[in-house]
Structure 1
Amino acid sequence: MRFEVTILGSSSATPIFNRNPSAQLLNVNDRYYLIDCGEGTQLQLIRYGFKAQRIEHIFISHLHGDHYLGLIGLLSSLHLNGRTKPMSIFGPAPLLEILEIQFKYSQTDLRYPINFFAVDPENPALIFENKDITVETIILQHRIPCTGYKFTQKERLRKINRQKVEELGIPIDYIPLLKRGIDYTDAQGNVHLAADLTSDPDKPRSYAYCSDTICSWTYLDQIKGVETLYHEATFMHDMLQRAEETYHTTALQAGEIALKAGVQQLLIGHFSARYRDLMPLLEESRSIFTNTQLAIESQTFTL
């Protein structure tokens, strides 16, 4: 099952040094989920070969412009390109008013419906699920209400040993039952255990997206044990005072959070415009948590 994220933008505040503001595309079994939508996101989708029409769910963390100013443009382009299927948007309650005002004064009547779901910035909750994943909010600590998102795969069915199944001549229409752990009895009354004809499914994986937050540790329990954590690392630790003033995190702190949360892989992003060279931020984070990667545009990470 495909479970991967492509970085569309990793700059904080403004686009600079060929880095765009925050946006990521999560691919779960070839279903697209857009996480934040900074300025230029639709151009990034085109640049990296993703069809925006395939996006059905958008998750916005908060209402600082570098996380949502690309949304109106994306939604408008989908309208102009003939989209008719609904778009589900999850984000802060005032975002709906922003969208409605934009479309009202541009006299735009979208050809497709928007299903808007306001997230609670104070209490973590399960906000979405389908056959593939669940999505929960992560309550972050920023200058304005801000939520991260945790995407968790649903448990899969058991894997079929096709060679054994074919040797026994088990009917194809019985395979779904074997996957559910139901034993097979042949015409002679012999019982063939599902456990012998299948293997354990892959362990469900999870991805936590922590956009903008001060290092408060209050959300640590919400991200414990995830396979991959994306965490902002706006500044290096020598800028700790500035990070605290602006409610951001340093690269060193991001490594500490990953270590304490017991994650397997850390991606850092939301880099300040003061850093052209990002290697010092990577090295600082790796000094605490070795398996750290830079969330660089165009890169796809298997989660």
Structure 2
Amino acid sequence: MSDHQNLLAEQRRALILDEVRRRGGVRVNELTRKLGVSDMTVRRDLDALARQGMLEKVHGGAVPVVEASTHEPGFEAKSGLELTAKEDIARTAASLVAPGTAIALSGGTTTYALAHHLLDVPDLTVVTNSVRVADVFHSAQRTSGQRPGAATVVLTGGVRTPSDSLVGPVADQAIRALHFDVLFLGVHGISLEAGLSTPNLAEAETNRRLVQSARRVVVVADHTKWGTVGLSSFASLSQVDTLVTDAGLPAEAHVDISEHVNRVVVTGERAASTEGSGDSADSEASDDSEAFADSGADADI
């Protein structure tokens, strides 16, 4: 039995998407041979990817979606995609956060999921340019009252984007004056050539400020972000300390990213550390959390 036959649906679809992007199109019969699965399974995978807007089905196969580099999906449009992966990434990223530290959360649906997992971490100071993220903390405090150890939330001002992030000169000025221990950064796209990118020029500048103000940068992004390039790049892969992603990331992409990023934490079945084949994602997250706690001892915000 081929190794591909044992893949989860999400992993198999990630491989299909990688083939489509890399080759500019694939045929169904090619995918059945490569993956060792039935014609019906491949067609179901293509249907699922087409519904998510990840590719376009054509007669006998699929081709990449031709999408403008300036296209910026709204928060609601993105919130229904890759729910399992985002939840796994959020849970793992939350384990990297030590009590009493100053952290920043950028806009995005993955950082929004992460915010829910941070509600019970005591004495956090949270800087965010995301209206949605701020609402998570404020709603929890309205429901349960101001508990001891509840997070202090700093919401930057700015102009609201389709993804409900606040960007522009007001946000940039506020972030420039702050210094936080860890930035958890959601992204529109990741690639070797373009690094981290977004379709929104103002958001790119605000994200640059966030990266510059952080002692550590943790990117939280599911596998579908790999190979996507927005209009404006705002950071290189070498500026990322840790990438937390899911098991749908193709093995080839994992290798490429690991050459530039200090640590890659993969959630799900194919969890592996880039610093030792015997390490798991959970043990690596624990190591990172201790390192973040040490760096946060003299946090200044």
TM-score relative to the length of structure 1: 0.39
In proportion to residue count, which structure has more helix? Answer: 2
In proportion to residue count, which structure has more strand? Answer: 1
* Structure number, greater radius of gyration: 1
TM-score relative to the length of structure 2: 0.40
